Amino acid sequence: MAKTYQLAVLIILTFLTLSTYAQTNHEAFQANAEVVDSVYSEILKDYRKFWVKLPENYNPKNDTKYPVVYMLDGFSLKSNLDVVYNNYWGHYMPHMILVGISNRKNRTHDLTTSKIETKRGSVFNAQSGGAEQFTQFIEDELMPKIDKDYQTSSYKTLIGHSYAGLFTINVLINHTHLFNNYISIDPSLDWDNQKLLKEAKVLLKTKTFKNKSLFVAMAAEQLHMYDETVTIDNLKENTSEFTLFSRSIVEFSECALANKQNGLQFSWKVYPEDLHGTVPLPAIRDGLVELFKWYQFKNPQMYNNPETSIETLNALLKSQEVIYKNHFGYIVPPMAEELFIGYGHMYFQTEQIEKAKLFMHKAIEYYPKSTMAYEVLADYFESVNEIDKAIKYLSKAYNINNTEQLKTRIKTLQGD
């Protein structure tokens, strides 16, 4: 038990040393790790602004492809997605490219699914009903640009809140092929006398949603703006227009749960202490963790256990690779590069050399255009005074990424 604990501490400390290798690998693009851009849309007849955030290990020199998260109201909700992704990538979700789409202009028109002229008995002056057009913009103009400019994979997630949550449900129901995952936060399913909700109830029974996942969130701190006695438990008893918003979300969720034969992986959560404006942060966190539950690292205790055999470690890695391939639809390394390096470095520190080499060589196998594994191997051989081997691995790193830092290290070891 004590050895296992020591190993766990060692791997945590190891990650603190990896930034040097990462900087060597990725210094060429770090300045552009986050960009703000725009595209002129022939469909919308207007420019549309968006931002892109690249994962820390993104390197345009290698062939790694990344899943993409598209978030509506991207500039308004950017900090929410940033804090969730920055804290949870690795164990809970993969490295991903994040894309935030602006909806500050024509928001109601672009995100609502049908045109209305009155709402709650009053004239509704805002333009509405442009969701299909905006979906076409995403599919035919924005996605192709993102795919052209960045190393994207075919695995995509869509996040939307309020009207954008309504839009997200519409894309799932009527344009199912566009995304693998959908996160709909406080969706406005009361829109146009529940028109989309009624359509969804039919399609959830008759359409196939295999390999699609949906997480729905509902803020329940204020279910009725004039009656605080309305709770999630007695919500259905109040049929006034003031509970229609929340009742619509409940109705949709109950319908989704009742139609498991359609293959949709559905989950939802009620947030009793959150308002409509505060629920995006916890919902984005819970939604991404839930939808990527299958991604989460299996059996970390066995990797940390000094008694685990090399054969078992190999089998664990192979099993993880199969899980990822089944979900992503393409081969994905069974472990993030940083984890391979971390475990390799950890086992070097504890003098389990064959295990250390296993992780380092796996890192080289799965990330052949990265230099981190070569540099750690060089560090190890330098530490045991096998200078020729240290130079050998540094030279391999230099052949991939010919930086001055690597060149200087090689010359120093050569005594030049």
Domain boundaries, the chain: 33-295, 331-414
67: enclosing H helix or E strand: strand 66-71
Single-letter amino acid code for the residue at 116:
I
Q: What is the pLDDT of residue 12?
A: 44
Sequence-separated (6 or more) residues with CB below 8 Å from residue 292:
92, 93, 94
* Helical residues (DSSP H) of 31-175, grouped into ranges: 78-88, 107-111, 131-137, 143-149, 163-174
Q: What does the buried/exposed string (b/e) look like for 322-347 if buried means 16 or more CB atoms within 10 Å of the residue's CB?
A: eebeebbeeebbbbbbbbbbbbbbbb
Average of per-residue pLDDT across 164-191:
98
Answer for the pair 204, 264: CB distance below 8 angstroms, yes or no.
Answer: yes
* Residue 287, Cβ density class (10 Å: 0-12 exposed, 13-18 middle, ≥19 buried): buried
- Identify which of 184, 291, 47, 154 has the alpha carbon closest to the alpha carbon of residue 146: 154
Average of per-residue pLDDT across 101-107:
94
- Identify which of 46, 291, 48 has the alpha carbon closest to the alpha carbon of residue 179: 291
Taking the model in full, what pTM does it have? 0.88
Tens of pLDDT along 328-337?
999 999 988 8
- For residues 399 and 397, what is the distance between their CA atoms, to the nearest angstrom? 5
The residue among 124 and 307 whose pLDDT is bigger is: 307
Q: What is the pLDDT of residue 32?
A: 52
Q: Tell whether the model's pLDDT for residue 15 goes beyond 80.
A: no
* Helical residues (DSSP H) of 65-106, grouped into ranges: 78-88
The DSSP secondary-structure symbol of 365 reads H
Sequence-separated (6 or more) residues with CB below 8 Å from residue 72:
101, 103, 111, 158, 159, 160, 161, 164, 167, 168
Tokens of 397: 């790193």
The DSSP secondary-structure symbol of 58 reads -
Tokens of 267: 């989950």
Q: How many residues in the chain?
A: 416
- For residues 270 and 253, what is the distance between their CA atoms, to the nearest angstrom? 11
Average of per-residue pLDDT across 177-203:
97
Tens of pLDDT along 209-263?
999 999 999 999 888 778 888 888 888 888 888 899 999 999 999 999 999 999 9
Tokens of 298: 């299996």
Tokens of 134: 């905006």
Cα→Cα distances 313→159, 306, 325, 350, 359, Å: 36, 11, 19, 17, 9
Binned at pLDDT 50, 70 and 90, residue 122 comes out as confident
- For residues 414 and 416, what is the distance between their CA atoms, to the nearest angstrom? 6
Average of per-residue pLDDT across 23-52:
79
Tens of pLDDT along 323-376?
999 999 999 999 888 889 999 988 988 999 999 999 999 999 998 888 888 998
Beta strand extents in 13-53 (DSSP E only): 34-41, 46-53
Answer for the pair 95, 333: CB distance below 8 angstroms, yes or no.
Answer: no
Q: Tell whether the model's pLDDT for residue 10 goes beyond 70.
A: no
Domain 33-295 has CATH 3.40.50.1820: yes
Cα→Cα distances 56→15, 50, 96, 368, Å: 14, 20, 9, 17
Whole-number mean pLDDT of the chain?
Answer: 90
Tell me whether strands 122-123 and 118-119 are parallel, antiparallel or unpaired.
Answer: antiparallel
Q: What is the pLDDT of residue 30?
A: 54
CATH topology assigned to domain 331-414:
1.25.40
